[in-house]
Structure 1
Amino acid sequence: MADRWRWSRQQVFTMVAMSSVNFSSMICYSILAPFFPSEARRKGVSQTIIGLIFGWYALCVLLVSLLLGKYIVQIGAKFMIISGIFVSAVCTMLFGLLDRTSSGMPFILLCFLVRSVNAVGFAAAVTSSFAILAKVFPNNIATVMGCVEVFTGLGLILGPPLGGWLYQSFGFEIPFIALGCLLFAMVPFNICLLPKLDADESESSFLRLCSCVRILLICFALFTLSSGLGFLDATLALFAVDKFSMSSGSVGLLMMGLSLPYGAASPVFGFFSDKFPHLRRWMMVTGGMITAMGFCLLGPVPVLHVTSELGLPENLSTLGLVSGLFSAVWSAGMFFGPVVGGYVAQQVNFQSASGVQGGITFIAALLLGVFYIYEEFQKKRSLQCKGNGSPADPDATTPLLNSTNPS
């Protein structure tokens, strides 16, 4: 048990590298939210199109993540993450020059173009980072992911207030140029720290991965949660400015209310997930319910691990598929949230859009909870028929998508 928590030099370097990737990627992603909607509106862009600009990025990540997750072995995880950071750095700096373009259609088209290429780099970095972590830390991945999510949370925390302050102090260009330079610095840093991973190909496929009902329900829950974040990115800034006349810097501080608890709680829940694996499913259900309640109160609304059944080997190829699916589903939600949420907010109001988002999240959590209750019922009925003792929770004893346990 002690060896499980004793990290090798390779694991420490990997942890540092992946934390830096997540921090720099997320700070560049979240910097837009406080000031870009207002800047785009001054360029003659409607709220629906603003939502599309945010959502298009996620849609591109969705499509590219599936492709990269499938071919991560052929491309190479280390090359994928380093090239992804480099592409994101270039595009981040280019995005800062878009305020020099003409208002209207030229501005909109260039936003879509730069965001599309940036999404390719982001997808490469994030998809490979998840796969690398799962490969290097096979025994305590939940705790490690929780620790890495601290830096994800820090990026989300610092991005909005830093972006708002830089925008107020220096204008539109400086925030993107500064953070583009930060991403450039991550390239040689990760070249030195990241290990080279041995990879074996397998016959894994996304179709086989998605053949499990549990995976589909978890993906739906993940979709609703990410769509909520995307919805807030595209609409909260305009709502705060219109309703409360808040500045860009103040909006950035407001968004810390979402990111700060996330960053603080991630390692705690990651540790408990590894320590008490049988509670993982109920953590997802409870978290979904609480999130749904939070969205309904935000306006407020006007009226008020997968088991061996798949038989997939636990190698870099399968981990790439799982990582790609995670990134794809997350990005699907990040596309749906800003586009649909932005449209509803424009046609009705922010309060109603927030209520719709909360309702979708509640449905996902409810379906997941009903499915887990059904599983428990089936397990108990099977035990009564066999007359055996209670077996260990399969989620607690079997590695993700692994059909065999090493002797």
Structure 2
Amino acid sequence: MDASGSPPPGGTGGDDHTRTARETPRRLSREQLFVLISAASMNLSSMMAYSILGPFFPKEAEKKGVSDTTIGMIFGCYALFDLLSSLVFGKYLVYIGAKFMFIAGIFVSGGVTILFGVLDQVPDGPIFITMCFLVRIVDAISFSAAITASDSILAKAFPNNVATVLGSLEVFSGLGLVLGPPLGGFLYQSFGYKVPFIFLGSIVLLMIPLNICILPNYESDPGEHSFWKLVTVPKVGFISFVIISFSSCFGFLDPILSLFVLQKFDLPAGYVGLVFLGLALSYAISSPLFGLLSDKMPHRRKWFLVFGNLITAGCYMLLGPAPVLHIESQLWLLVLILVINGISAGMSVIPTFPEILSCAYENGFEEGLSTLGLVSGLFGAMWSVGAFIGPMLGGFLYEKIGFEWAAAIQGVWALISGLAMGLFYLLEHSRRRRSSKPQNIICTEEEQTALLSDEI
């Protein structure tokens, strides 16, 4: 396949795009295979390192005198700096170089993951809290660099199958989220606080020589368009709101789900990690399916976005469950709702990247790595906005009103974003139908005039 950065299905490109799609070989080229291996290794190792905090870090932080709200801020600051750095890296990707940004991001991320493992030696109180913030901030910046470069390289290498490839690679992200919590919980129970971070940080670092050897180096000229022009496109703005909503739902669970499960069901830390399995595993399995459907049926992507949000809203009402429902909280129900939530996440998250990319091409953005960098950076930035708000809101609400009501309030956000997205698509469809009718009338009148003149 020619890595030319042509638009995905649903974008512009005319005959050239159709010809490229026809000429796409069914078998992967060597370059495409190497890109997939690099992205998969990064997704797997980084998500494992990211997710190990959930089962035991809140408990360890409480021992150090950290409040639930501050724990939520420690989780949330990761997303804040991921947001800021995504915008910068997306804008300057073509200047820095996609491969260099990818490798450098992995290197720093692995190093700070190991550094996180020695924070238990830091004195309690403000010093411990400050060091947690600093390490998380550096980790966020490095991960942002790696993921922005990775998404851009993937979209460049697979211009006609963006959703399918991204959805398939979410299997490795989901696998990392699946393996991280139980593995981290097991290593924590067996060997103490340090070993989970040192082990997983070392795995991240071991991926660097592999990626230096096999990852292709794409080059491109800087583009003329900006983030501001992209995000001010109305459709992109609504999709961005959907991304924020979903990432906040994920981030909401990070600091408080383990605390709720420990308090409600009295499970050991190792088993708490298995609770996270329901969400991560169902998301990993469903993502390739929705990616394939998004590429095969691009006109259906919008409804995946809408119904994914509405299902998620229902899940969060039942997660506690909300006290107004008068349903007793049970472990099997909690795990079932997390499984359904993982499927709804795959339904709504995976189509967002190709939808934004198609919209960018339709609005005059040039093809190539520059636009791919902007879209990757915007996606990462919007995801980070929600991932910043979610843990902070979750920690605060959990402390004030408890998990049941906090989850219900989070579900309202998903409900609003789903309804807003659905209303926008209905208005867009209605506007297109109205605009097509006058054109048909004009054409008919012109044809009648021509026929009458011929008869005369």
Give the TM-score normalised by the residue count of structure 2: 0.84
Deviation for aligned residue 1:31: 0.8
Whole-angstrom CA distance in 2 between matches of 1:318 and 1:379: 26
Whole-angstrom CA distance in 2 between matches of 1:233 and 1:294: 16
1:368 pairs with 413, 421, 425, which one? 421
Which amino acid is 1:295 matched to?
A: Y
Bigger Rg, structure 1 or 2: 2
1:11 pairs with 17, 32, 37, which one? 32
Deviation for aligned residue 1:221: 0.7
Deviation for aligned residue 1:247: 1.3
Deviation for aligned residue 1:4: 5.1
Whole-angstrom CA distance in 2 between matches of 1:227 and 1:251: 21
8 Å contact 1:4–1:140 — kept in the other structure?
Answer: no
Match of 1:291 in 2: 312
Secondary structure in structure 2 of the residue aligned to 1:303: helix
Q: Answer yes or no: is 1:161 the counterpart of 2:214.
A: no
Whole-angstrom CA distance in 1 between matches of 2:388 and 2:44: 21
Match of 2:399 in 1: 346
Match of 1:249 in 2: 270
Secondary structure in structure 2 of the residue aligned to 1:175: helix
In structure 1, stretches of 5+ residues that fail to align are 389-407
Spell out the pairing of 1:69-218 with structure 2 (5 A cutoff): 69-218=90-239
Whole-angstrom CA distance in 2 between matches of 1:53 and 1:247: 23
8 Å contact 2:316–2:410 — kept in the other structure?
Answer: yes
Match of 1:332 in 2: 385
Q: Answer yes or no: is 1:56 the counterpart of 2:77.
A: yes
Q: Answer yes or no: is 1:27 the counterpart of 2:48.
A: yes
Q: Answer yes or no: is 1:386 the counterpart of 2:407.
A: no
Deviation for aligned residue 1:204: 1.6
8 Å contact 1:58–1:334 — kept in the other structure?
Answer: yes
Whole-angstrom CA distance in 2 between matches of 1:42 and 1:5: 55
Q: What whole-Å deviation, never above 9, does each CA across 1:188-231 have from its counterpart, x for those lacking one?
A: 11001100112121112011101211111111111010011111
Match of 2:452 in 1: none
Match of 1:399 in 2: none
Match of 1:359 in 2: 412
8 Å contact 1:240–1:251 — kept in the other structure?
Answer: yes
Which amino acid is 1:353 matched to?
A: A
Whole-angstrom CA distance in 1 between matches of 2:156 and 2:172: 20
Whole-angstrom CA distance in 1 between matches of 2:138 and 2:435: 52
Whole-angstrom CA distance in 1 between matches of 2:379 and 2:242: 11
Whole-angstrom CA distance in 1 between matches of 2:114 and 2:51: 15
Deviation for aligned residue 1:8: 1.0
Deviation for aligned residue 1:309: 4.1
Give the TM-score normalised by the residue count of structure 1: 0.94
Whole-angstrom CA distance in 1 between matches of 2:24 and 2:376: 26
8 Å contact 1:231–1:337 — kept in the other structure?
Answer: yes
Secondary structure in structure 2 of the residue aligned to 1:312: coil
Whole-angstrom CA distance in 2 between matches of 1:122 and 1:41: 26
Q: Answer yes or no: is 1:315 the counterpart of 2:336.
A: no
Whole-angstrom CA distance in 1 between matches of 2:82 and 2:197: 20
Counting aligned pairs with the same residue, the percent is: 52
Whole-angstrom CA distance in 1 between matches of 2:170 and 2:384: 17
8 Å contact 2:189–2:269 — kept in the other structure?
Answer: yes
Whole-angstrom CA distance in 2 between matches of 1:291 and 1:356: 12
Deviation for aligned residue 1:114: 0.8
Whole-angstrom CA distance in 2 between matches of 1:44 and 1:253: 27
Whole-angstrom CA distance in 2 between matches of 1:258 and 1:100: 33
Which amino acid is 2:177 matched to?
A: L
Whole-angstrom CA distance in 2 between matches of 1:286 and 1:312: 29
8 Å contact 2:97–2:219 — kept in the other structure?
Answer: no
Whole-angstrom CA distance in 2 between matches of 1:177 and 1:2: 47
Whole-angstrom CA distance in 2 between matches of 1:213 and 1:205: 15
Secondary structure in structure 1 of the residue aligned to 2:276: helix
Q: What whole-Å deviation, never above 9, does each CA across 1:283-316 have from its counterpart, x for those lacking one?
A: 1111111111111110111222233442110211
8 Å contact 2:117–2:198 — kept in the other structure?
Answer: yes
Whole-angstrom CA distance in 1 between matches of 2:438 and 2:50: 53
8 Å contact 1:27–1:156 — kept in the other structure?
Answer: yes
Match of 1:404 in 2: none
Where has structure 1 moved over 6 Å in runs of 4 or more? none
Whole-angstrom CA distance in 2 between matches of 1:303 and 1:228: 20
**CA root-mean-square deviation:** 1.1
Which amino acid is 1:318 matched to?
A: T
Secondary structure in structure 1 of the residue aligned to 2:28: coil
Distance 1:279 1:4, change over 3 A: farther
In structure 2, stretches of 5+ residues that fail to align are 1-21, 326-354, 442-456
Match of 2:246 in 1: 225
Q: What whole-Å deviation, never above 9, does each CA across 1:66-109 have from its counterpart, x for those lacking one?
A: 00110001100000010000000110000000011111111101
Q: What whole-Å deviation, never above 9, does each CA across 1:229-259 have from its counterpart, x for those lacking one?
A: 1110011011111111111111100000100
Secondary structure in structure 2 of the residue aligned to 1:39: helix
Deviation for aligned residue 1:385: 2.2
Deviation for aligned residue 1:3: 2.6
Whole-angstrom CA distance in 2 between matches of 1:387 and 1:28: 58
Whole-angstrom CA distance in 2 between matches of 1:6 and 1:200: 29
